[in-house]
Amino acid sequence: MSAFTAIDFETADNGRDSACSVGLARVEGGKIIHTAHRLIRPPRPDIIFTYIHNISWEDVENEPAFGAVWPELADFFKGIDFIAAHNAPFDRGVLYACCAAAGLTPPKEQFSCTVQLARKELGIKPATLSNVCSRLDIPLKHHHALSDAEACAKIMIRVEQVRAGKTAAGLN
């Protein structure tokens, strides 16, 4: 089994640098061993996606900006094989934009997309997070960054279990 970190961002607006919440779940040996959730003050006070994630400016105005939050979270990415995200292009884009805006170097590890893997390896369509979680009986409080990250981690664990089963059966 791989060591990886699942990540999920919620954003305030259409700018990829507008993270207002991040959830992380570190996985080793097929188990979630550590999680973290942080609210983040986005660079602009107009939060247009409150209707999705229920985070308002009042919730984040006194929180640290991404550059101050990142040092608390950087250890999640040490010694991992990859980063998992459900719809990886979105979360990778947010991470890279937030790091760039803060003058930080993003993690070098590749992203694995559990949307694609749920389709390809698990045969689940549609591969929305809520549908995949429903099919795999994974609890989900959708659009809460920590719940989404934990769900992503559990999907990735399931994918690795399926892959291991195929290899053991000589089907790979």
C-alpha 61/C-alpha 45 separation (Å) is 8
Please state the separation of Cα 150 from the chain's center in Å. Answer: 8
Please state the separation of Cα 121 from the chain's center in Å. Answer: 19
User: In sequence order, which residues have a C-beta less than 8 Å from that of residue 61 and are 6 or more positions away?
Assistant: 41, 45
pTM of the model: 0.95
Of 144, 160, 159, nearest to 8 by C-alpha is 144
Mean pLDDT, rounded, for 141-155: 98
CATH topology assigned to domain 4-168: Nucleotidyltransferase; domain 5 (3.30.420)
**What are the tens digits of pLDDT across the range 13-66?**
999 999 999 999 999 999 999 999 999 999 999 999 999 999 999 999 999 999
Of 24, 1, 9, 13, nearest to 83 by C-alpha is 24
Q: pLDDT averaged over the chain?
A: 96
Output the CA angle 110-129-17, nearest 5 degrees. 55
Output the CA angle 40-154-111, nearest 5 degrees. 60
Q: Where are the domains of the chain?
A: 4-168
Mean pLDDT, rounded, for 112-140: 98
**What are the tens digits of pLDDT across the range 89-120?**
999 999 999 999 999 999 999 999 999 999 99
